[in-house]
Amino acid sequence: MSEALINTVLLSLLACITIGIVRTRNLFGVVVLSGIYSLLIASVMMVLDAVDVAMTEASVGAGMSTVLLLGTLYLTKGHEMKAFKPPLLPLFVAIGVGAMLVYGTIDLPPFGAADQPVNQHVGPDYLARSKPETGIPNVVTSVLASYRGFDTLGETTVVFTAGIGILMLLRRRRKKDDTLREGEK
Amino acid sequence: MRLDAILRIVTKMLIPFMLIFALYVHFHGDFSPGGGFQAGVVIAAAVVFHALVFGLYPTQKIVPPRLVTLMMPAGVIIYAGVGFLTLYLGENFLDYDVLSHNHHPEKPNYHAQERGVLWVEVGVLTTVAGTMISIFYAFAGRGKGEDKTK
Amino acid sequence: MIFEEFINYYNYFITLFLMSSGLYIVVARGNMVKKLVGLGLFQTSVYLLYLSPGKILGGTPPILAEGYEVYSNPLPHVLILTAIVVGVATLGLGLALVVRIHEAYGTIEEDEIFSKGDDLQEEDNKNSTLPGDAK
ipTM rounded to 2 decimals: 0.88
For an interface test with B, which of A51, A53, A55, A142 has the most B Cβ atoms less than 10 Å from its Cβ? A55
One domain for residues A7 and A74: yes
In a domain, A108, yes or no: no
Averaged pLDDT score across all residues of chain C:
86
Q: Is residue A106 part of a domain?
A: no
Chain B hits for A56, CB-CB cut-off 8 Å, are 37-38, 41
Beta bridge partners of C63: A138
Q: What is the pLDDT of residues C54-93, one digit of tens each?
A: 888 888 899 998 888 889 999 999 999 989 999 999 999 9
Quick: pLDDT tens for B90-144. 888 888 888 887 777 777 788 888 889 999 999 999 999 999 999 999 998 887 5
Q: Are C99 and C105 in contact (CB under 8 A)?
A: no
Same domain, A3 and A31: yes
- Whole-number pLDDT of residue B99: 82
The single-letter code of the amino acid at A154 is G
How far apart CA A13 and CA A18 sit, in angstroms, is 9
Which band of pLDDT confidence, cut at 50, 70 and 90, is reported for residue B149? very low
Residue C51: per-residue pLDDT: 92
Q: Which residues pair with A138 in a beta bridge?
A: C63
Any CB–CB contact under 8 A between C88 and chain B? yes
The answer to whether B116 touches A142, Cβ cutoff 8 Å, is: no
Closest CA relative to residue C61, chosen from C72, C48, C77, C45: C72
Q: Is the dihedral of CA C4, C5, C8, C9 positive or negative?
A: negative
Residue of A nearest to B106 (CA): A133
pLDDT band at C135 (very low <50, low <70, confident <90, very high): very low
Q: Give the pLDDT of residue A96.
A: 94
Query: Which chains share 3+ C-beta pairs under 8 angstroms with A?
Result: B, C
Residues in chain C: 135
Whether the CB-CB separation of B36 and B121 falls below 8 Å is answered with yes
Question: Chain A closest CA to C127's CA: distance in Å?
Answer: 22
The partner residue sitting opposite C25, judged by closest CB among A7, A22, A41, is: A22
Tell me which chains share at least 3 CB pairs under 8 Å with chain C.
Answer: A, B
Same-domain pairing of A134 and A157: no
Is the domain of A75 the same as that of A33? yes
Q: What are the chain B neighbours of C84 within 8 Å (beta carbons)?
A: 37
Number of domains observed in the structure of chain A: 3
- Are residues A5 and A70 both part of a single domain? yes
Give the torsion sign (CA, A129, A130, A134, A140).
positive
Task: Please tell me whether residues A125 and A165 are part of one structural domain.
Answer: no
Question: Average pLDDT of each block of 10 consecutive residues along chain A (185 residues)?
Answer: 86 94 91 94 92 92 90 82 76 92 87 84 88 89 90 93 92 56 46
Note the pLDDT of residue A80: 72
- CA dist., res. B137 & res. B122, Å (int): 22
One domain for residues A10 and A67 = yes
What pLDDT does A14 receive? 94
pLDDT digits (tens, 9 = 90+) for B46-70: 999 999 899 899 999 999 999 999 9
Please indicate, yes or no, if residue A90 is contained in any of the structural domains.
no
Question: Looking at the structure, do residues A59 and A16 belong to the same domain, yes or no?
Answer: yes
Distance between CA atoms of C94 and B133, rounded to whole angstroms?
17
pLDDT level of residue C127 (50, 70, 90 thresholds): low
Give residue C132's pLDDT band: very low, low, confident or very high (50, 70, 90): very low
Are the C-beta atoms of residues C16 and A98 closer than 8 Å to each other?
yes
Domains of chain C (ranges; CATH) run 2-134 (1.10.287.3510)
Residue type, C110: E
Write out the residue range of the structural domain in which residue A128 sits.
114-139
